[in-house]
Amino acid sequence: MKIRLYMTVKSTEALGPFVRFGLWVQGCHKNCLGCISADSRPIDGGYDVDVVTLAKEILNCADIEGLSISGGEPFLQSKELAELLRVVKSEKNLGVIIYTGMNYEDVKNEQLLNYCDILIDGEYIETLNDGLSLKGSSNQKVIMLTSRYAELADIYGVKGRKIELHFMNDKVTMVGIPDTNSQKLFKSDTQ
């Protein structure tokens, strides 16, 4: 089974608590104004990777506590991601956070959620980008699906955001959820 990816980052502290593996799937039908990962939207972009190969890559990252999945839209590849997480979690108990532009009510019966600890749902609305932590806009909800991160629920929606710059091949990639000013600055510096 293959999964279509936009990119991965083996170590980040900008997409949830602790050190995490960051995974962005390729493909999204939404066209949210100000999307931070607009290059991940084309369905035919990115690259294919075997689910077992990707699981091994994740499992070989010794210092991670968990994995954060974004995109693109993760639920367009729900079956593939569920298989990936099944394989990973059969070897190591990693925490899982998924960012989706869908509403929880529309995905609540997806098998993928059986492997997820936190779901951040709702499409990004640029005019609601309030700069608060770990969400793109104030309409998005943080849904605790398990108790794994219950004691850390207060890290969401507080003032300040963390972003990281990762040097990948011949480009610089911003990881995290920038506030409006950081996003404009990064886009103007890299274009």
User: How do the domains of the chain map onto residue ranges?
Assistant: 2-190
Q: What is the pLDDT of residue 158?
A: 82
CA distance 148 to 157: 18
Q: What is the pLDDT of residue 10?
A: 96
Q: What is the pLDDT of residue 179?
A: 67
Residue 80: pLDDT above 60? yes
pLDDT band at 186 (very low <50, low <70, confident <90, very high): low
Q: What is the pLDDT of residue 102?
A: 97
Q: Which long-range contacts (CB under 8 A, 24 or more apart) does 103-112 make?
A: 104/141, 104/143, 107/75, 107/78, 110/75, 110/78, 110/82, 111/78, 111/79, 111/82, 112/74, 112/75, 112/78, 112/79, 112/81, 112/82, 112/85
- Report pLDDT digits (tens) over 85-103: 999 999 999 999 999 999 9
- Report pLDDT digits (tens) over 128-164: 988 888 998 999 999 999 999 999 988 888 887 777 7
Share of the chain above pLDDT 90, in %: 71
Q: What is the pLDDT of residue 52?
A: 97
Mean pLDDT, rounded, for 63-86: 97
pLDDT band at 16 (very low <50, low <70, confident <90, very high): very high
Residue 188: pLDDT above 50? no
Residue 180: pLDDT above 90? no
Region for residue 29 given its phi and psi (left: phi exceeds 0; alpha: psi -120 to 50; beta: otherwise):
alpha
pLDDT band at 181 (very low <50, low <70, confident <90, very high): low
Residue 125: pLDDT above 90? yes
Q: Which two tokens stand for residue 56?
A: 């091994």
- pTM of the shown model: 0.91
**Burial class (CB within 10 angstroms; exposed 0-12, middle 13-18, buried 19+) of 120:** buried
176 Cβ neighbours under 8 A, 6+ residues apart = 12, 14, 15, 161, 162, 163, 164
- Report pLDDT digits (tens) over 25-49: 999 999 888 888 889 999 999 999 9
